[in-house]
Amino acid sequence: METLFSLPALALLAFLGFGSVRVTSGGQSRLVERLGKYDRQLKPGLSFVLPVVEKVVSHESLKERVLDIPPQQCITRDNVSIEVDAVVYWQLLEHARAYYAVDNLQAAMVNLVLTQIRAEMGKLDLDQTFTTRSEVNEALLRDLDQATDPWGVKVTRVEMRDIVPSQGVQQAMEQQMTAEREKRAAILRSEGERESQVNAARGRAESLLLDAEAKAKQQALMAKARAEAAAELAKVIETHPAAAESLRLLLAKDWMAMGEELAKAPGGSVLLVDPQSPASLLTALRNLQDKG
């Protein structure tokens, strides 16, 4: 009889002893209540809980976790409807505060993040929501971390993933972008045409300048050549009296022909020569021919 009564007692003790053992993994936390009142937090490792008297009421991870925020309709400062979703990285620092401060921690955080996102989007125009995303992330992180501090929660990072305007706004933005591209293309075409015209005008001007310089150089060379020839002839005549006499005879022979040229000369033309200087006569006749 004693053996029969001892076996159930031993089995009951073994069951109660096995049920009182708790093994907590690293990065985990368990909260224990004793007779309905918070008693302690079990650390990683092997722990014992008194049967019936004590109870594990919460088991949570202390690692960093990701909270996926569903898309949320928001209204910007310029009354444009947009859809925003985000990702929040957070960590439970004080398990007991979180358990006793809020009933459903994750649902409370989701609602808090959605409220903060709507508030931040309402401060910005549509264009600013695309250009100041990093600033909005920093503002959300600051506000959420401050709001969740009483819960024993640390918000480590907030990232807005997508900002999607309404369909009508997207069509208007596409039309605006198309108009801007066409405007830039027209400006580039007009600038190209202007550059082409300027280059063509510059080329014509340079061509005319080069042509004028070439003609001036040619006339200068011709004048120089005639002057050198006349000077050489005059020198020969001055140094060779016989050649001067022959030239006078030839000039006398052609005097009548030169008289006809003189008759055709423009009014007011005067022929000044030295009868004793054939070279002077020759130079004057040549100048007269050039004027005619």
Here the tokens at position 118 are 């709507």
At residue 51 the predicted structure's pLDDT band, cuts being 50, 70 and 90, is confident
Q: CA of 186: how far to CAs of 192, 201, 266, in Å?
A: 10, 22, 61
Looking up tokens 């005067």 gives: 270
Q: CA of 98: how far to CAs of 28, 241, 292, in Å?
A: 14, 135, 118
Q: Structural domain boundaries of the chain? A: 12-61, 64-165, 198-291
**String of b and e for 203-228 (b: at least 16 CB within 10 Å)?**
eeeeeeeeeeeeeeeeeeeeeeeeee
pTM of the complete model beyond 0.75 = no
| Protein fold of 64-165 | Tetrahydropterin Synthase; Chain A (3.30.479)
Q: Per-residue pLDDT for 264 more than 60?
A: yes
Distance CA 7, CA 276 (A): 170
- pLDDT tens digits, 197-206: 888 888 888 8
Q: Find the mean pLDDT for residues 176-204.
A: 80
- pLDDT tens digits, 71-83: 888 888 888 888 8
